[in-house]
Amino acid sequence: MPALAILQVLQLADSALPVGSISHSFGLEALAADEDIANSVESCPRSLCSYIEDCLSETLLLDAVFCREAHRRARQQIAVDDLNEQLSAFRLARETREAGLTMGRRFAALAAAMHPIPALLRLATLDELHHAVAFGYTFGILAIDPDLAVSAFVHQSVLNTISAAQRLLPLGQIQAARIAWHLKPAMLEMVEQSRRESFATVCSLAHLPELASMRHSCLPTRLFVS
């Protein structure tokens, strides 16, 4: 893999990339408030790790499949409008849906600003564009390996969740780093599973984060948008 491509992956997959992820917990804040995610020092890391593992098998798997399909379409110069519409239909909670769209538009605009070629400039003009689709399409345009693209997206998503948990739960830097390290094999297993799934048949039955996102707007105090 060329050194330039490695550096591009490191930048685009950085969890600190300014696309708005720091403002979104995707329901985690409501789960913490309701104590569905344990908030004791002893059980927090174990509870959070289990929650993320569940997300890897449901919501993040769904995103990974759409990310992979967007990557394929970028290589073949095929439109992705229907992918965004289908992914919106899967996002039952308004806050989760709008968060994905906001991050997708910001990611595309940032990618187009850094690498202003026609394909990315067109992508940045889409009104409905989910983060997973924008991420996969951009990596496809850059001719980065699809498995690496999906792995980078999943890794970034997991780190964003852990970062949100650090602001909501008694979770220190070392504990957070250990969770991220422990989850890497599960991430790779999910990337492997995404190869066997089709965007036309994949589904997600993760009701817990969706219901939590719906309850989020009713919290008396909030740190996050979603």
Domain assignment of residue 169, given as a range:
24-216
Q: How big, in percent rounded to 5, are the helix, strand and coil portions of the chain? A: 70, 0, 30
Q: Is 136 within the bounds of a domain?
A: yes
Supply the DSSP symbol for 182: H
Q: Is the model's pLDDT at 69 over the cut of 70?
A: yes
> Which pLDDT score is estimated for 166?
93
- CA 220 → CA 93, 164, 216, distances in Å? 19, 18, 9
In a domain, 72, yes or no: yes
Residue 12 resides in a domain: no
The answer to whether residue 1 is domain-embedded is no
- Residue 4 belongs to a domain: no
- Asked if residue 163 is part of any domain, the answer here is yes
Q: What is the pLDDT of residue 36?
A: 74
**Domain assignment of residue 111, yes or no:** yes
CATH of the domain at 118: 1.10.4190.10
Q: How many domains does the chain have?
A: 1
In a domain, 180, yes or no: yes
**Is 0.85 surpassed by the pTM of this model?**
yes
